[in-house]
């Protein structure tokens, strides 16, 4: 004969918070504790997920003591619902109401910084720069680049272009002949701007001959 606990399982917790729920994979959400604990403290929570048309599956093998959780290994493009079950000494309670269905999307981040820019052509009032794209675009296509300059002795960097340029070559105009400048580049995707690249070496603005063409196929 098994002794029955004199306490009841807890009530259902609050529905996982849709205001904080993210449709990214991994997916994070939070919830409120149940109104009644059944006479004993809550020892933790089970999280369950259900794919569209499927059955509820327990996500965590052991109750989490927190009121927030991150679900890993969701399939991108699949739709999911989530619910939470509180646990006390008497056992698990009733599940919360499920969340609204969400579609799992790959997490997107800001891109890494591009490579430092290098001068391809220098004239008495301009320099044409080129650079390599960032190694990691953050999971979102690079929309363009912002170029920044700083004169020798200046403290602050200033933007050369207000709108990101979609290519990795740019001619910086209106420079002062005989002055030295440094340049750096910022990559931009849908999430936002990257950290700036490392700055270029100091570049002296003066008329320089074109670099000789080494392309055996002919020069443009």
Largest CA distance in the chain: 97
- Contact status, residue 107 vs residue 139, Cβ threshold 8 Å: yes
Residue 6, burial from CB neighbour count under 10 angstroms (0-12, 13-18, 19+): exposed
User: What percent of the chain stands above pLDDT 90?
Assistant: 69
Residues 61 and 82 in one domain: yes
**Domain stops at, among 45, 77, 106:** 106
Domain span holding position 49: 24-106
Peptide bond into 130 cis (omega under 30): no
Task: Clarify whether residues 123 and 196 are in a common domain.
Answer: yes
Please state, in angstroms and rounded to a whole number, the distance separating the CA atoms of residues 108 and 36.
Answer: 39
Is 65 a domain residue?
Answer: yes
Q: What CATH code is carried by the domain that includes residue 80?
A: 2.60.40.10
pLDDT tens digits for the chain (220 residues)? 555 566 788 899 988 885 555 666 688 899 999 999 989 999 999 999 999 889 999 999 999 999 999 998 888 889 999 999 999 999 999 999 999 998 888 778 899 999 999 999 999 999 999 999 999 999 889 999 999 999 998 999 999 999 999 999 999 999 999 999 999 999 999 999 999 999 999 999 999 876 544 443 444 4
**Residue 91: HSE in the Cβ half-sphere, 13 Å Cα cutoff:** 5
Q: Other CB atoms closer than 10 Å to residue 20's CB: what's the count?
A: 11
């Amino acid at each position: 004969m098994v002794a029955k606990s004199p306490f009841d399982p807890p009530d259902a917790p609050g529905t996982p918070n849709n205001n904080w729920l993210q449709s990214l994979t991994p997916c994070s959400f939070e919830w409120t504790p149940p109104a009644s604990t059944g006479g004993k403290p809550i020892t933790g929570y089970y999280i369950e997920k259900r794919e569209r048309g499927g059955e509820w599956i327990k996500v965590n093998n052991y109750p989490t003591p927190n009121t927030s959780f991150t679900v890993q290994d969701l399939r991108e493009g699949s739709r999911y619902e989530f619910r939470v079950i509180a646990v006390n000494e008497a056992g698990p309670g009733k599940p919360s109401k499920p969340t609204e269905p969400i579609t799992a999307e790959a997490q997107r981040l800001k891109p890494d910084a591009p490579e430092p820019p290098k001068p391809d052509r220098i004239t008495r009032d301009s320099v044409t720069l080129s650079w390599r794209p960032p190694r990691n675009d953050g999971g979102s296509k690079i929309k363009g680049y912002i170029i920044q300059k700083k004169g020798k002795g200046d403290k602050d960097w200033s933007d050369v272009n207000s709108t990101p340029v979609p290519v990795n070559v740019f001619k910086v105009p209106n420079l002062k002949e005989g002055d030295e400048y440094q340049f750096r580049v910022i990559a931009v995707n849908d999430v936002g701007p990257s950290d700036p690249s490392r700055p270029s070496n100091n570049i002296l603005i003066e008329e320089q001959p074109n670099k000789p063409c080494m392309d055996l196929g002919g020069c443009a």
